[in-house]
Chains A and B, each alone.
Chain A
């Protein structure tokens, strides 16, 4: 017995050496924790920087400088029968001239009218067509300033800049100051940013076309990738024999999820446009290309969801004589549906932000009306951002940031919905 005690070397736990060793181990713990905190701070810092920059440059695009004018339709030149043919240009110009108390010489009128959007006659026309009871009356209407004056009003163009280096002349600044002093200038919320389609003029350009284009493309993407993805996942998970072929299919699906999206764009260009002859720039093709990208994600998510349903449920169903499809459709699939839907929404959110494949199939065209369906040419949110980022006008700089904010808003909304669904309906086993 004593010999055994001799051979066992017992550590001296309270020695200085051991205490120092423990201190070092605790220090390593704390260091690891600090690295983690530093990494998270770094990441959040960059996220904050991104959003702050976007807000700083984009915030001004959410308001639009407008001038309140009185449109007088009491004279008989406008008839309800021919609203399109009425002399809107003259009506608007006389209203605009009426804002300025002093007579503007004919030679200066061109510069004066350039202060306001050149589409003002069409805006007034459309407003009257939408409200026919205005005919024969006098009413107030807010006409957007053109981009240079809008930028000047928002402080983006400084009056200290030499006149030949800015797009606003001293004369225009003089008129603008007088208009401001008379109280007709206002900066209301820019609903046009959401409700207008794209335009060459920044003051009129909006995201309506891009938003509905994205909507149609995502709808097509969902209608293709959801049923196909779920069906493929059910087959692979429940029916497919486990052999070399299904192994190869499985590996391919997993790898497909990592293929660069631009490759899918090229595929869409070659197959959908080239062989099938589908229309260019159409949300239909955009949705088809996006569904190619979403499909692998859908299949992986659905398989994981089906796997997470305990086998005891399947056995319970089979044990009372349910067939395989009944066990799957009545029990497995409903129970995994919340997870599948969450994955679907996240997959669609990913597709919403995808740009490269849409560029290749022409969804970056300049289109001034929202698409009427999946066949009409359209842009999408990310491609609209791409187009605006490429436009030289000053107004598009802030509008690009604003459009990114709108896109981020949709992404946050979709992800929020996914989180909500997960917390609300997902079953923990």
Chain B
């Protein structure tokens, strides 16, 4: 395991006030059968920051996101090369337990997908399978704090036993975020979490993402330039399977280095 400074040096990043690297992709190539979806992606995810992955449809940003917690394992034909590390340890190493990895790197999906069970059960399920709580009161506490962190507790505290699928779309998505939080992950991956939500629900989720940054490292895939600009500190631009450019969000949106980034964020293509 490389030291923090060595890692930074290897990347060639400025040794400045940037927070430490939490996850790191090096020369990541992804293949679906014979077709290659990602080409040599090098990207750092920094601790307690929101990293936005942007780019036109089919550019590989969701593919990269799904590599970070090995959700691509469920696709038979998918093959990942290169290295992705979490706190310096390669997550594709044979010794890595994928169940543990996914507990440490949680995920929120494009479409809200609560289990068709009660709100309480939705949250308590993760802690239960991982053995994070034993008694009823411990579970109650996890459920309440998770819902509070997701800003949902006040809205649902009187109907914890009613089905999670009965909530509105925005509430369902925040329930899914609470469900991810409940297993105390270190990183939360979000795959276009607001694409199925209306502007008001979107605003709430974005607000939430900003708060969650205190305790979690967040990677978000988004199609909305404004959203990336609003919620993220770092932005990575993908195009046709290549990482075009990455950097501070402010710089990316005001003064990008690459012409393609310039064209994309100004709406000339994508």
Contacts and interface: CB of A to CB of B under 8 A. Distances in A.
B109 A321 contact: no
B113 A321 contact: no
B129 A313 contact: no
Interface residues of A, number: 20
A241 interface: yes
B129 A321 contact: yes
Contacts of A323: 99, 129
Interface string B103-126: 100111101011110000000011
Give 5 closest A-B pairs by Cβ, nearest first.
A321-B103, A319-B107, A312-B113, A321-B102, A320-B126
A312 B99 CA distance: 18
B141 to A, nearest CB: 18
B126 A321 contact: yes
B100 A321 contact: yes
Interface of B: 69, 71, 74, 76, 99-103, 106-109, 111, 113-116, 125-126, 129-130, 176, 179-180, 182-183
Chain A, interface SS category:
helix
A241 B76 contact: yes
Nearest to A429: B116
B115 A316 contact: yes
B183 A318 contact: no
A335 B114 CA distance: 13
A365 B130 CA distance: 58
Contacts of B76: 241-242
Contacts of B114: 316
A178 interface: no
Contacts of A372: none
Residue with the greatest number of chain B CB neighbours at <10 A, chosen from A313, A315, A427: A315
B181 to A, nearest CB: 10
18 contacts: A312-B113, A314-B74, A315-B71, A316-B113, A318-B74, A319-B69, A319-B106, A319-B109, A319-B180, A320-B102, A320-B180, A321-B103, A321-B126, A321-B130, A322-B125, A322-B126, A323-B99, A326-B129
Nearest to A319: B107
Contacts of A320: 102-103, 106-107, 125-126, 179-180, 182-183
Contact of A315 (B99, B103, B109, B179): B109
A319 B71 contact: yes
Nearest to A315: B109
A247 to B, nearest CB: 13
A242 B116 CA distance: 30
Given A320-B103, A320-B126, 14 more contacts: A315-B74, A315-B113, A316-B113, A316-B114, A318-B102, A319-B69, A319-B71, A319-B106, A319-B108, A319-B180, A321-B183, A330-B125, A330-B129, A427-B116
A319 B179 CA distance: 10
A150 B138 CA distance: 75
B86 to A, nearest CB: 14
A330 B113 CA distance: 15
Nearest to B101: A321
A331 interface: yes
Contact of B129 (A316, A322, A427): A322
Residue with the greatest number of chain B CB neighbours at <10 A, chosen from A313, A315, A321: A321
Contacts of B125: 317, 320, 322, 330
Contacts of B130: 321
A239 to B, nearest CB: 11
B135 to A, nearest CB: 21
B102 A319 contact: yes
B147 to A, nearest CB: 15
Nearest to A242: B76
A385 to B, nearest CB: 44
A316 B109 contact: yes
B123 to A, nearest CB: 10
Contact of B115 (A318, A321, A331): A331
Contact of B99 (A241, A322, A427): A322
Interface string A177-216: 0000000000000000000000000000000000000000
Contacts of B109: 312, 315-316, 319
Contacts of B111: 312
Contacts of A335: 116
A41 to B, nearest CB: 42
Nearest to B182: A320
Contacts of B116: 313, 335, 427
A241 B75 CA distance: 11
Interface string A417-429: 0000000000100
